Structure 1
Amino acid sequence: MADSIHPSSRLISSTPATHELPRLGRIGRPHQPAPIRDADDISSRPRPRGERVGFQSILETGLGNVSLPSAPDLITALETARSYADRADKAVPGLGRLVDAVLEDECRKLSCYMDMQTT
């Protein structure tokens, strides 16, 4: 084993006492058992809240109590923003088309969402 070029061959010698070496964990430190907590310590911890699902709940969690505008208001705002997309070309050529395409796609998605709400 002394002639081996494998990196682990340098860590563990080939002496009979190798079974007495501490067992290494995944990160290369000697394995130590986790300390046992008292029952009082565990019960005093706050319980995690249940996860909520949906975009609105993500906004509320991240930004507080947030309300989204209605879909028609969002479409109006996106269409107004599209009228300014050509100004992006002045800063970066071709950026106006990208902005216009993204805003058009978002308007289409909101229109589909509104159609689903009415049916």
Structure 2
Amino acid sequence: MHQGAVPQILEKTEEDFFSKVISILRVATDICNDRIEEIPCLTCPHKLEGSMFVMVKLNPSLLEDINDDMEFCLKRAKEESVMVLPGRVLGMKNWLRITFAVEHAALEDGLGRI
């Protein structure tokens, strides 16, 4: 797509589309906030407000056989088929990046597996 087309696309897009997207993301944000609070080894320092992902602090001392964010993410992928980005790749050891711009049922399932 040519960037020059963006203004025209935005002008022709119905306002209802944007309202629906915001509503979907708001529900996903609420799901993510609620589920993260239920996971003892994770802490979210700031309540989610406007994004499609969240950085959460991992406390590996509350887990058996997991020493850091990389091990946590590898085990979640292997054992639970859940992909979470280790903060280490962003220069943030023992943090996790969780994307919540997914179908609500998949988000609930993925956070439940974590």
Larger Cα Rg: Structure 1 or Structure 2? 1
Q: Which has the higher contact order (CA 8 A, sep 6+)?
A: 2
Which TM class, normalised by the smaller chain length?
Answer: under 0.3
Q: Kindly indicate which of the two structures has a greater share of residues assigned to strand.
A: 2
- Using the size of structure 2 for normalisation, the TM-score is 0.22
